[in-house]
Amino acid sequence: MNAFLRTLFILLLTLHYSTQAQTVFAPPASEWYNDMDGYGVFHSYYAGDTTIEGISCRKVAQKALMTEHWQSLGFQVYDHLTEVVYNTADTVFVYNTLLHRFTPLYIFNVSAGDTVTLAITQLETAYYSTAVTGGDSTYSYIVDSVALVNYGGNMLKTVYTHPVTPAMSSDNYLLIHPGTTGVYAEQIGNLDGGLMPVCRFNCVATADDRVKEIGAVRCYTDPAISWHRQSVCDLSAVGVNSLAATTLQVFPDPASDVLHITGGTSLADAAVYLVDMRGVKYLVQKQLANNEIDINVSTFAEGVYLLHIVQGDEMVNRRVVVGR
């Protein structure tokens, strides 16, 4: 009986994992908030679809949101490049404009003790005057362990790593890949830093106030996952002047007829969508009064949706429930 129960448990775990395993990285309405070295938060989010080399891909915009304190002192932080990604069952790829092809970003078919070596990407050359050259042997890290971890009720494969000490060469001593910072997970990506590689050591621009290290993920949301590491996700409490940092109130929850949205900034000209659990996006007819939006949800099927608000080049999501 014990052997039977053990076999049954393993089978159920395998079936559960197969339904939860990564199917799409950066799906429609996905977004990340990361700490930004005391300067604010770094907001990354799905920014549309595209096709490169016949491959259907998704764009990820990356915006730095400064706190008002640092803005008042004249400090700036660069937005990062919009990246283009796609994934297979076990690997996330990024379009590498330095090498003019897709290269791996996160690899999940690994085991403890494996050494993973990845290519340089375009981010480093976007902001630094020193030309950095490299190929598919730039970043190396060792896998410590692999585990299934619960993120907001979703069991996701998670890889724990430590870096291989880089050699002092122009190819690899300047830069650290996200996989080397400690841990990355399916669908979410790197948990301890930004999604893409950043400069860490002898970069020309290390003294520039615009180059700030992107820290740990505060929260991640997509149509299937809502995971918060910190209760304050978008730093609205510390004065980031941005739609993404606005304290939006969305009620009632669940909503049966009208969903009411109010915010501390103008919501005029905002495009509002509801995104269902399949990732299908519906443009919502709305009534707007000052900083308030009312949405008629009476015709929507019951279930969980993401409220997707776009204003200019900014985007925020809120998880909502439609019920009767």
106-155 pLDDT, tens digit each: 999 999 999 988 876 654 444 443 444 556 666 788 899 999 999 989 99
Q: What is the band of 288 on the pLDDT scale with cuts at 50, 70, 90? A: confident
Q: What is the band of 166 on the pLDDT scale with cuts at 50, 70, 90? A: low
User: What distance in Å separates the CA atoms of residue 218 and residue 35, rounded to the nearest whole number?
Assistant: 7
Identify whether the C-beta of residue 58 lies closer than 8 Å to the C-beta of residue 82: no
Domains by residue range for the chain, with CATH: 2-228 (no CATH), 246-322 (2.60.40.3080)
Identify whether the C-beta of residue 235 lies closer than 8 Å to the C-beta of residue 64: no
pTM: 0.68
Q: What is the band of 91 on the pLDDT scale with cuts at 50, 70, 90? A: very high
Query: What's the one-letter identity of residue 167?
Result: A
- Taking residues 238-244, what's their average pLDDT? 52
43 token code pair: 């907001």
* pLDDT at residue 135, as a whole number: 61
Closest among 313, 250, 293 to 46, alpha carbons compared: 313
User: What distance in Å separates the CA atoms of residue 255 and residue 273, rounded to the nearest whole number?
Assistant: 15
* pLDDT at residue 169, as a whole number: 43
